[in-house]
C-alpha cells in the first residue's frame, strides 16, 4: 500500500511538472510559480470531444473542423477536479461541446492548449476564484464566484456549520492550475483528496514562520471542520505544530456579526482572515426603514473577480454583505450584485494591505486610494478623507454609504527600459535593504543599465526628506550605499531611487 501511494504521488508530481513546463512555459508563470491567466488569450471554440482512455487518467481533446483529428488539447485540471457549484461535467467521447477557456499556443507544443473555464454554458472554473471564501451553507447565501460579467458573490450570511476543531494527518495535494494555488489533504493515502485546506488569502503569512506545504508533503493539520461543498473543508489553525492563525479570532461567525438597533457601543465587523481589516457601526446607525438587526460580512477577495474593476488598477478588494433577518442580502436587491445602503451616521472602515500585494501589482504605496461601486451612476466613486498609515500598511476612511464592492487602487511604479548591450547591466533594480530592520546602519543596493544622473533619497512616513544618499552621474553597473540612521528616531522610512523616468520605492525599518 505504501509503495502504491508513493508511486502514485510521484506520477502525479511528474504529470504536474510536464503540464507546467510543456503546456504553459516559464513565461506563463507568476512570481509565485504557477499559471497567470493574464498570459492566456480567452477564446470560445465549438467542436467534437475526443477522449483518450489509454492513459492512467482520461485525456481530452477537441476537434473543431470535424475531420476526426484533434485541433486542441483541453485541460480540465486535476483528474479528480469537479466544480463546486455548477452543473458542468467532463465530456464523453463524441460529444458536441462549446468551450470557453484560456488559450496557450506555443510552437514547442504539438497542439494548442485550452485551459477550460466554461463547458456548454456552465462554469467549470474561474482561474481567479477567491476559493478561500467557499464557506457558505444553508439557504441564505449566493454561492459561486464572479465570472466574466456575471456576478454570484461569496457572502453567505450566518448560515454555516457549527465549527468543530479536529486534527488530521495526511499527504498534501496542490492544484497548480488556478492562478492561486489550491490545497487539499489526502488522509487515507489513496491519491485522492479527502479535505480542502483553507489557508486564507495567498498573501497571508503567519508570524510563527509556518509555511504552506508542497505537493506530496506529509503534514499534520489542526483546523475548523466545515462541510460546504464536495469535500469537507479544514480552516487551518496549525500546520505541523506551528500556529497558522488565531482560532479564537475566527470561531465566532468567522468574525462577521450581527448589529442591533439599540447598540450602546461600537460594533466592529472584521474581514474573515484579517484582524486589521474591519468596518465599525456606531450607535445611531439605525433608521426606521431598517429592521431591528442585520448580519454583516466583510470578505477580502481577489480584485480580478470584481465586476467593472478591470480598468481601475486595483490591488485589493472587498465584498460586503448585509443581511436582513429573513436572509435577504440587501447588497443584492433588484438585478443582482453591486448594490449599496445608506446609513444616518458614517460607517468607519480600516483596510489592511500587505507588501506582497503591493509587489504583485507593482503599486506605489503613496498613491493608494479607495473606491466604492455606485450602482445608480454605474461608476466607481472615491471615498473622501482617506488616512494612509504606511507604517502599519493600513488606510482608514468613513462613509454613510456602504457598497457591495470596495476596491483599493494605486499607481504603478514606473520601470525603466531594458538595454540590449550584453556587456552592460540590462535592467533597473532597487534591492531591499539589508539588514532590515536595522540599527543604526543598513546597506541599500541598486542597479542601473545606462549612464545618467542618479538620486537616492530617504523619507519619513510623512513624506519628508531625511537624507540624500546619492545625487550624481553614474555609469551602468551595480552599486551599494550605506545608510546611517543613528540621528533618526525608530520607525518606518522609505528610500526612493530615481533616474530619468525610472522611479522605485521600498520600505525600511529603523529599530533602536
Least confident of 115-119, 414-418, 425-429, 467-471: 414-418
Predicted local distance difference test score (pLDDT) of residue 21: 33
Q: Is the pLDDT of residue 241 over 90?
A: yes
Class of the CATH-defined domain 256-409? mainly beta
Least confident of 152-161, 310-319, 477-486: 152-161
Residue range(s) occupied by CATH 2.60.220 in the chain = 256-409
Q: What is the pLDDT of residues 17-71, one digit of tens each?
A: 333 333 333 323 332 234 455 557 889 999 999 999 998 899 999 999 999 999 9
Q: Residue 316 CA to chain centroid, in angstroms?
A: 8
Segment 422-438 shows an average pLDDT of 74
Residue range(s) occupied by CATH 2.40.50 in the chain = 2-123, 131-249
Predicted local distance difference test score (pLDDT) of residue 390: 85
Kindly provide the b/e burial profile for residues 139-154, where b requires at least 16 CB atoms within 10 angstroms of the residue's own CB.
Answer: ebbbbbbbbeeebbbb
Q: How confident is the model at residue 128 (pLDDT cuts 50, 70, 90)?
A: confident
Pair 500, 415: CB distance under 8 Å? no
Residue range(s) occupied by CATH 2.60.40.1930 in the chain = 429-510
**Number of residues written out for the chain:** 512
Q: Give the C-alpha separation, 145 to 283, whole Å.
A: 34
* The CATH number fitting domain 429-510, selected from 1.20.120.10, 2.60.40.1930, 3.30.360.10, 3.40.50.300: 2.60.40.1930
Cell numbers that stand for 304 in this block:
480580478
Fold of 2-123: OB fold (Dihydrolipoamide Acetyltransferase, E2P) (2.40.50)
DSSP code string of 254-277: GG-EEEETT-SS-EEEEETTEEEE
Q: What is the pLDDT of residues 84-94, one digit of tens each?
A: 667 899 999 99
From residue 379, give the alpha-carbon distance in Å to each of 146, 248, 330, 405, 505. 18, 39, 19, 11, 31
Alpha carbons within 13 A on the beta-carbon side of 334: 8
DSSP code for 156: -
Predicted local distance difference test score (pLDDT) of residue 348: 96
DSSP code string of 198-242: E--STT---TT---PPPTT-EEEEEEEEE--SSS-EEEEEEETTE
Predicted local distance difference test score (pLDDT) of residue 28: 31
pTM surpassing 0.85?
A: no
Predicted local distance difference test score (pLDDT) of residue 335: 61
Q: What is the CATH code of the structural domain delimited by 131-249?
A: 2.40.50
Q: Collect all residues with Cβ–Cβ distance below 8 Å to 468 and sequence separation of at least 6.
A: 455, 456, 457, 458
Predicted local distance difference test score (pLDDT) of residue 160: 63
Give the best-scoring range by mean pLDDT among 86-90, 293-297, 478-482.
293-297
Predicted local distance difference test score (pLDDT) of residue 71: 96
Predicted local distance difference test score (pLDDT) of residue 152: 61
Q: How confident is the model at residue 407 (pLDDT cuts 50, 70, 90)?
A: very high
Q: Is the pLDDT of residue 303 over 70?
A: yes
Q: Give the C-alpha separation, 264 to 189, whole Å.
A: 53
Amino acid at each position: 500500500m505504501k509503495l502504491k501511494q508513493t508511486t502514485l504521488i510521484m506520477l502525479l508530481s511528474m504529470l504536474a511538472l510536464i503540464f507546467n513546463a510543456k503546456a504553459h512555459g516559464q513565461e506563463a508563470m507568476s512570481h509565485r510559480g504557477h499559471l497567470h491567466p493574464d498570459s492566456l488569450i480567452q477564446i470560445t471554440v465549438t467542436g467534437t470531444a475526443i477522449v483518450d482512455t489509454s492513459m492512467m487518467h482520461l485525456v481530452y481533446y477537441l476537434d473543431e473542423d470535424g475531420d476526426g483529428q484533434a485541433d486542441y488539447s483541453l485541460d480540465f485540471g486535476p483528474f479528480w477536479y469537479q466544480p463546486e457549484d455548477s452543473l458542468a461535467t467532463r465530456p464523453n467521447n463524441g460529444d458536441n461541446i462549446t468551450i470557453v477557456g484560456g488559450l496557450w499556443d506555443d510552437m514547442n507544443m504539438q497542439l494548442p492548449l485550452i485551459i477550460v473555464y466554461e463547458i456548454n454554458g456552465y462554469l467549470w472554473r474561474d482561474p481567479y476564484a477567491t476559493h478561500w471564501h467557499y464557506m457558505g451553507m444553508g439557504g441564505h447565501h449566493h454561492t459561486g464566484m464572479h465570472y466574466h460579467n456575471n456576478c454570484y458573490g461569496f457572502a453567505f450570511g450566518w448560515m454555516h456549520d457549527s465549527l468543530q476543531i479536529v486534527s488530521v494527518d495526511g499527504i498534501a495535494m496542490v492544484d497548480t492550475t488556478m492562478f492561486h494555488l489550491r490545497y487539499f489533504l489526502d488522509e487515507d493515502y489513496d491519491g485522492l483528496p479527502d479535505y480542502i485546506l483553507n489557508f486564507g488569502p495567498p498573501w497571508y503569512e503567519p508570524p510563527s514562520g509556518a509555511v504552506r506545504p508542497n505537493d506530496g508533503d506529509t503534514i499534520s493539520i489542526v483546523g475548523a471542520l466545515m462541510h460546504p461543498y464536495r469535500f469537507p473543508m479544514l480552516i487551518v489553525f496549525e500546520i505541523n505544530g506551528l500556529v497558522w492563525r488565531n482560532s479564537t479570532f475566527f470561531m465566532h461567525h468567522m468574525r462577521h456579526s450581527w448589529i442591533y438597533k439599540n447598540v450602546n457601543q461600537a460594533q466592529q465587523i472584521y474581514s474573515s482572515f484579517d484582524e486589521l481589516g474591519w468596518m465599525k457601526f456606531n450607535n445611531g446607525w439605525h433608521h426606521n426603514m431598517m429592521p431591528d438587526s442585520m448580519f454583516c460580512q466583510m470578505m477580502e477577495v481577489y480584485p480580478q473577480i470584481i465586476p467593472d474593476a478591470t480598468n481601475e488598477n486595483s490591488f485589493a478588494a472587498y465584498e460586503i454583505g448585509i443581511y436582513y433577518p429573513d436572509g435577504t442580502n440587501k447588497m443584492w436587491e433588484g438585478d443582482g450584485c453591486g448594490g449599496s445602503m445608506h446609513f444616518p451616521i458614517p460607517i468607519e472602515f480600516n483596510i489592511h494591505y500587505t507588501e506582497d500585494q503591493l509587489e504583485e501589482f507593482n503599486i506605489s504605496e503613496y498613491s493608494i486610494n479607495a473606491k466604492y461601486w455606485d450602482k445608480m451612476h454605474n461608476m466607481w466613486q472615491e471615498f473622501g478623507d482617506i488616512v494612509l498609515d504606511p507604517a502599519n500598511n493600513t488606510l482608514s476612511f468613513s462613509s454613510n454609504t456602504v457598497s457591495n464592492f470596495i476596491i483599493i487602487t494605486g499607481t504603478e511604479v514606473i520601470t525603466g527600459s531594458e538595454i540590449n548591450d550584453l556587456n552592460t547591466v540590462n535592467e533597473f533594480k532597487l534591492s531591499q535593504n539589508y539588514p532590515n530592520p536595522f540599527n543604526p546602519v543598513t546597506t541599500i543596493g541598486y542597479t542601473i543599465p545606462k549612464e545618467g544622473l542618479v538620486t537616492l533619497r530617504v523619507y519619513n512616513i510623512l513624506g519628508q526628506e531625511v537624507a540624500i544618499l546619492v545625487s550624481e552621474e553614474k555609469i551602468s553597473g551595480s552599486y551599494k550605499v550605506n545608510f546611517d540612521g543613528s540621528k533618526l528616531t525608530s520607525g518606518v522610512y522609505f528610500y526612493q531611487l530615481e533616474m530619468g523616468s525610472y522611479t522605485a520605492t521600498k520600505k525600511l525599518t529603523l529599530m533602536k
